[in-house]
Structure formats: structure tokens, C-alpha cells
Structure 1
């Protein structure tokens, strides 16, 4: 088996998370797949997969090598298509994950347009507020609102958001003074929560973090419910700027303590393969970047 074929076997095994599944997909025997991976590991003098009796998982070296392999295979496919006069178009199933409310407001419309433009693509959408492991879940693209933490992933920044503190005009008209973060202890607080950590809001003063421990009157694991409670005049909440941008524009909520806002967080489109993605991934990243670049609330 030549090196390129072995790379294809490796990429398929990494994608499916199983030597047996890769063998079935490639119409090979399971021992042949195992031998191909073993040969690659011997040539590279490193282990590409952690193996157990039930599953396989890429090693750190395997993740890095997968990025290179995907790039090489994509380049070969594009070169062959160019010689044949064929334009590669996205096709197959694309799996995308995003935070729940961000996914509803921004990513779902992008997915809809993507599906209209590329009829040979299907999309599986997973909206979660927690970070999803792309390898474990076999997800192609993740939209994350945070600083990058995994150097084994490829990420491109498509915008910025920050936490903002808001309340309704009616609440503020009848509430105690609110000039510093410490004044929050005199107010009714609404806390969007996963109930896993103590309620704390972080602010910035003179470049230093000011952590305010809270005693919320209302805690809820759904951001929409917290926003609704704030708009009704119940109290003050703190959420991502994009989550309350529409309510601020309509005058339903007012931003307060702006001079104490913490630093911006990047909105990133994250994938495994790197700059020469599979065509469906590369094209979807382009769609997300183009659409979000036009939104003033994500680039101010």
C-alpha cells in the first residue's frame, strides 16, 4: 500500500473513530486497515491512535498529522479536479455546533442559505452552550465564543462580543443608584446559570478584574428566560452583547456599568482539518465569516 492510500485509510479511521468502520467504508478488510495504520506509525516513529478494546482516539501527534493529511488529500483532489476541468462543490453531511441562542439568531439563517446554495449538502445542527469535543462527536465545525484553548484545532475569528450588564428603563427609574459594580449588592439580580459554579460577575477596573459575588433573586439555565425577566422590570442581568442587542435597540433594556465591561471575546469558527479543509467545511466557514462580518453588533 502506498503512502497516499495509507493516509486515506488513516483519515477515514480518524473520521469514523473505528478501524472496522473505516474498513467497511473503504471496502477493505479490518486487518488491512490495521496494517496500514501500523505502517504509517512505523514510518513516522510515533503512535497516531490511542487504542482500547472498544474505541480509538487520536493522540496529540495524530491530531497534528491529521491536519497535514487532510490538507495533502484535499490538495490532490483539487489538483486532479482542476486537470479534469471539474469544479469541486460541497457535498455530503456537514455537522455544525454552536451556542444555543447564537445558533438560533445567527447560525441557523447561514445554514439555511448554505443548503439553498448547495443542494448536495445535508446539515446536522447541534446547539449546545457547553464546549463540544470535535473528535468525540465527529462534528465538522464548531462556533465558539471564547479564547482558543486547543492548539490542535484550526480556528478563524469572525467577530467579537463581550458581557454587558442590562436592566429595563422601568427598573432603573425606581432602583437605587448604580455607579460601580459594588452597588449591585443593593439591586435585584437575575443570573443566567448552569448551577455548577457560584454566581459571580467579573468586571474590569484599571486593568484589573473585579469579581462580584452575587445573591441572585432569580437564576435560570435558559438565557431567553433571564432576558424576558429583565425586560419585565424584575431586575439586572449580565449577558453576551449579541443576546441583548435587539432589546437594547428597541429600548426594552438599557446597558449600565459600561465603563467596567471586561475584554472582548472572539467568535471563532473551529475545525480539525486546517486551512485546506474539505470543500464543504471550507465553504461553510467562508459563509459564516462573510455573514457575521456584516453584523454591527459582532464587530463593534
Structure 2
């Protein structure tokens, strides 16, 4: 018996809570079902079920393995259907990652629409500013603000953003002049930081990078806190354009030093080669592209 068939047996036993019932459902003998589970347990070197004379139940390892098995079997079914040209509705678990604030502002509304339209899909959202490995974390789709560095990734651009320097009108009304990046040394600075690198802001002048070393008055590892401090008139900060788009549009923050803005960064929707043809992945990527392409701030 191959691994995939054994996984199918395992999933059925877990679903029905009985070796005998699983055997009947799969048109197999009870001993064959027992052998399939024993084979998996040997290969995994762990027990998948607690067995008593009256009932069986999953071990902790079995519960974790069942989640992976369901995803693998669903992916195989979707992949085979796609190759055969059969149109299936997306189903199963979709794992999505995106930067924290971008995920909250842009990706979560897309997930909500996707879940409404496809009731057989569950979504696990991982909002994280650190780049996660798609293979190690079983991520299906990643939205990243950078170009992919791994040739094994399938990516397409859905917009772009860039770093912008902002402050409140109240702060600027009483602050020293601000016409060049060097003038920042005379200002109160608010620095979004993970505290792992020296505080530096990079600007572009005549095609060259100008690095300004900072002495921030306020450093914080949460962008929302830095934005709130800037809105309150405490000082100047520098963030991704999408993070302060609403505040700039409302007039709470003003874009300064625009002529020195850094290069634009692409927003990429990324999946592993081989997974991009799964129906749940194809459909979700389509939703992301369609939604973000309509956003005039990301695609001016």
C-alpha cells in the first residue's frame, strides 16, 4: 500500500472513529486498514491513535498529522482535477501570509470576500513583517513588498509602494525648515524599528543613495504607534506609503521631502511552483490581483 492510500485510510478512520467502519466505507478488509495505520505509525515513528477495547481516539501527534493529511489529499484532488480539465470549486485550507499592517488594511478584506464566495474553504492568515519560508510553514500564498529572491517561487506584481517621510501640519508649522534630508538632524524624529540595526533613513538624490544617520526621540517596533505619535505632532517619521495613505488623504499627515523618495518597491503575490495551479490558490490569487489592481493608491 502506498503512502497516499494509507493517508486516505488514516483520514477515514479518524473521521469515523472506527477501523471497522472505515474498512466498510473504503471497501477494504479490517486487517488491511489496521496494516495501513501500522505502516504509517512505523514510518512516522509515532502512535497516531490511542486504542482501547471500546473506542479509538487520535493522539496529539495524530491530530497534528490529520490536519496535514487533509490538506495534502485535498491538494492532490484539486491538482488531478485541474490536469483533467475538471472545474471544481475551491475547498480545503488556504494558508496566506502578508506584512502585518498591509495584511490588516488590504489582504483581510480580500480574505473576507473569498470566504463568503467559497464556503468550503478555510483560511489561516499569518500576518508577519518577517519573511517566512513558504515550504517550512506550508504557506500557499504570500503577499510581499519586495522582489522574490527564490527562483522556485511563482510571482506576479499587483502594485507598488515606497518609503515616504511624513509629519503633521501642526508639527511643521512650528518646526525648523525642512528642504533636504540633511535638515532632519534639526528635527524631532520618530523611528519605526525592530532595534536590530542603527537608525538610518535612506533617500535618493540624483540617482544616488543618501544615508542619514538619526538620533530618534521615539523608537517603537509597532508602526501604528509611530503613526499615532506623528499624528499627535510629536515629530517626523518615515514609513511605507500604504501605511500612511489614509492619514495623508485626510490631511492628518503631510508628505515631505517627496523629491528625495526612495525607489518604488513592487507588491508581489507569490506561491510555490506546483501549487499555483491548485484551484484554491488560483482563485485567491485572482481575487488579490483584481482587488489591488483597482486600488488607485497602489496603482496610480
Report the TM range for the smaller structure's normalisation.
0.7 to 0.9
* Distance in 1 of aligned mates of 2:9 and 2:217: 56
> Within the alignment, does 1:92 sit opposite 2:96 as a pair?
no
Paired position in structure 1 for 2:81: 77
C-alpha distance 152-284 of structure 1, shift in aligned 2 (>3 A): same
> How far off its partner does 1:148 sit?
1.7
Paired position in structure 1 for 2:102: 102
* Distance in 2 of aligned mates of 1:182 and 1:150: 37
Q: TM-score, normalised by structure 1?
A: 0.75
* Distance in 2 of aligned mates of 1:281 and 1:96: 10
Q: TM-score, normalised by structure 2?
A: 0.75
Mark the runs of 5 or more structure 2 residues left unpaired by the alignment. 13-32, 45-74
* Distance in 2 of aligned mates of 1:129 and 1:273: 23
* Distance in 1 of aligned mates of 2:276 and 2:236: 45
* Distance in 1 of aligned mates of 2:85 and 2:295: 35
* Distance in 2 of aligned mates of 1:289 and 1:252: 30
C-alpha distance 73-206 of structure 1, shift in aligned 2 (>3 A): farther
Note the alpha carbon deviations across 1:76-118, whole angstroms, 9 max, x for none.
4225353xxxx31100000111111101100000000000000
Question: Would you say the 8 A contact 2:168–2:254 is kept in 1?
Answer: yes
- Write out aligned runs for 1:76-155 (5 A): 76-80=80-84, 82=86, 87-155=87-155
Paired position in structure 2 for 1:236: 236
C-alpha distance 195-21 of structure 1, shift in aligned 2 (>3 A): farther
Question: Would you say the 8 A contact 2:275–2:281 is kept in 1?
Answer: no
* Distance in 1 of aligned mates of 2:296 and 2:196: 33
C-alpha distance 74-196 of structure 1, shift in aligned 2 (>3 A): same
Question: Would you say the 8 A contact 1:164–1:241 is kept in 2?
Answer: yes
Q: For 2:165, what is the secondary structure of its paired residue?
A: strand
Q: For 2:136, what is the secondary structure of its paired residue?
A: helix
* Distance in 2 of aligned mates of 1:107 and 1:231: 24
Paired position in structure 2 for 1:178: 178
* Distance in 2 of aligned mates of 1:23 and 1:277: 26
Paired position in structure 1 for 2:250: 250
> Within the alignment, does 1:209 sit opposite 2:213 as a pair?
no
* Distance in 2 of aligned mates of 1:157 and 1:275: 18
CA RMSD of aligned residues (A): 2.8
> How far off its partner does 1:125 sit?
0.7
